[in-house]
Amino acid sequence: MNAMGSNDMNVTLEAANFEETGRTAGPPQGRPAPSGGSDPRSGGAWGPKDSMKIEREDHKLEKRLCRDVGRAIVDFNMIEEGDKVMVCVSGGKDSYAMLDILLKLQKRAPINFSLVAVNLDQKQPGFPEHILPEYLGKLGVPFHIENQDTYSIVKRVIPEGKTLCSLCSRLRRGILYRVAGELGATKVALGHHRDDMLQTFFLNMFFAAKLKGMPPKLVSDDGKNVVIRPMAYVAEKDLTRWAEVRDFPIIPCTLCGSQENLQRKQIGNMLRDWEKKHPGRLENMFSALQNIVPSHLMDNKRHDFKGIKATGVADVDGDRAFDAEEFSEPFAGSLPGLKVVNLSF
């Protein structure tokens, strides 16, 4: 087999039993025992039934994460036989989870591929540089820490009060691409998830006047690296829960985290508010990114509007200009508060 794309891969990555053996009743693995003998999620004293219930919930979450990551790998042929995947680990919940799930899938995959974790130490003041080497060392995964003082460059070049992310990300991207070449990595894995992709879509639409999102797989701008996002199908809320389950040693970013008015944060708040008021809306929007109809947009570069002529042949995909829009029940029903209005001309 040359690539992760066969039915065998679907069975292995999406339907495999990820049961962990040797576990006993008590707090789930990675989760500390609740202080005072009580658990916030059970609302009372910690008992065997509470422990088993939480353990089942965590097991379902683990299976869902493995299934979603496995499905993305299969759908977009992200990892192939013999690949060396450079997993970029920042110290945040997303990259920790990505490494964690890829290690689980690596053990069950029908092909051989290797992982190497890479962290860029940007020399931010107060950065706990010992945490990641200790954590990665305990995991037993090969890793590399790249030390580059991009923090001083960003603080020197960007005026106080301005957004730091643009320059910071450009510097980080260039360094990581170089490191990938030095390590012989064939793929560079980033920890962006479903919510990041939706945020990027709306950021581009609102502020850059483009219908452009964040692709699950692409060739880097230097033309030398294939970048993959294995968590493209994963919801952020699942990653937040998984970080608690696994008790990852989270390292906050003092650059991005200190900027409360970033456009991405505003978009994120908007999406979370939509999901709270209308459950299912994010799933529909994400599905829309995979169901594009260029003939019903307005980009002349994507569809030959100028060359359109009547053919006299019926086309089920043709435009019904005078018909009211109709939405299937699953769509309308999944958006509480949405009122479908029929327009007559």
Give the number of domains in the chain: 1
Per-residue pLDDT at 85:
98
Per-residue pLDDT at 321:
62
> Per residue in 219-262, pLDDT tens?
988 889 999 999 999 999 999 999 999 999 999 866 554 554 57
Tell whether 150 is covered by a domain: yes
Low-confidence ranges of the chain (pLDDT < 50): 1-29, 32-42, 257, 260, 329-345
Q: Where are the beta strands (DSSP E) in the chain?
A: 38-39, 44-45, 84-88, 114-121, 143-147, 187-189, 217-219, 226-228
Tell whether 334 is covered by a domain: no
Q: Which domain holds residue 172?
A: 82-288
Indicate which CATH number applies to the domain containing 194: 3.40.50.620
Tell whether 92 is covered by a domain: yes
Tell whether 300 is covered by a domain: no
Per-residue pLDDT at 157:
82
Report pTM.
0.78
CA distances (Å), origin 58, targets 17, 19, 234: 14, 11, 15
Per-residue pLDDT at 9:
47
Per-residue pLDDT at 35:
41
- Is the distance from CB of 152 to CB of 122 less than 8 angstroms? no
Tell whether 335 is covered by a domain: no
Tell whether 40 is covered by a domain: no
Tell whether 192 is covered by a domain: yes
Per-residue pLDDT at 304:
92
Strand bridging mode 187-189 / 226-228 = parallel
Tell whether 284 is covered by a domain: yes
Indicate the SS3 state at residue 35.
helix
